[in-house]
């Protein structure tokens, strides 16, 4: 009988833990395109997976899209949803592709406290892939916002003329 009490305590702790996890999952956003992590892993490159699915950050100045200013549209690298237009891109000097606005409705926002303070996290509204963050130090003459985006999360589609 003495052994039964610690056993029961363990069971109780485990059940408590699992119900808390269920609650957390229910609060998660749902996306039009949903895949298992294994499916994403098979489709994306390691770098894309790290940024889009694990909310990682690419090294600054590492993306060939950083200094790209051709006319076109930047799509989500995971699901091909158009996210940013070239006319809204600017050189922020940070080393990451930067835009003063996104294509409305195609991105969604969350909060990220990973590095100790709250940042506005930005992700694809269709597949939930992490893109980057939004800061308030963008060009004052337009929106004042800086969408700081990982180039690896984007696919550039040049405009047809
Ligand atoms: Zn997407």
User: In this structure, are residues 33 and 80 in contact, taking their beta carbons and an 8 Å threshold?
Assistant: no
pTM of the model: 0.80
- Catalytic residue numbers read 148
What is the structure's pLDDT at 69? Answer: 94
Helix (H, G, I), strand (E, B) or coil at 157: strand
Confidence tier at 119 by pLDDT (50, 70, 90): confident
Spacing, Cα 13 to ligand 1 middle (Å): 38
What does the alpha-carbon distance between residue 126 and residue 30 come to, in Å, rounded to a whole number?
9
101, pLDDT greater than 90: yes
Q: What is the pLDDT of residue 3?
A: 60
- Ligand 1 centroid–CA 15 distance in Å is 35
C-alpha 91 – ligand 1 centre gap (Å): 24
In the reported structure, the alpha carbon of residue 40 is separated from the centroid of ligand 1 by a whole-number distance in angstroms of 11
Confidence of residue 15 (pLDDT cuts 50, 70, 90): very low
Q: What share of the chain is helix, strand, coil (3-state, %, to 5)?
A: 25, 25, 50
- Residues near ion ligand 1 (CB < 5 Å) are 76, 78-79, 81, 124, 126-127, 129
């Amino acid at each position: 009988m003495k052994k039964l009490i610690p056993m029961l305590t363990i069971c109780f702790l485990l059940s408590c833990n699992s119900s808390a996890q269920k609650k957390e999952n229910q609060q998660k956003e749902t996306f039009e395109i949903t895949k298992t992590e294994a499916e994403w892993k098979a489709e994306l490159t390691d770098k894309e997976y790290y940024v889009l699915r694990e909310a990682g950050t690419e090294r600054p100045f590492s993306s060939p899209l950083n200094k790209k200013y051709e006319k076109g549209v930047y799509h989500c690298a995971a699901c091909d949803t158009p996210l940013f237009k070239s006319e809204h891109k600017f050189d922020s000097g940070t080393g990451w592709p930067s835009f003063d606005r996104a294509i409305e409705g195609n991105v969604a926002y969350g909060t990220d406290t990973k590095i100790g303070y709250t940042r506005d996290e930005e992700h694809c509204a269709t597949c939930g892939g992490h893109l980057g963050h939004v800061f308030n130090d963008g060009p004052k003459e337009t929106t004042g916002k800086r969408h700081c985006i990982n180039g690896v999360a984007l696919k550039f589609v040049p405009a047809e003329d």
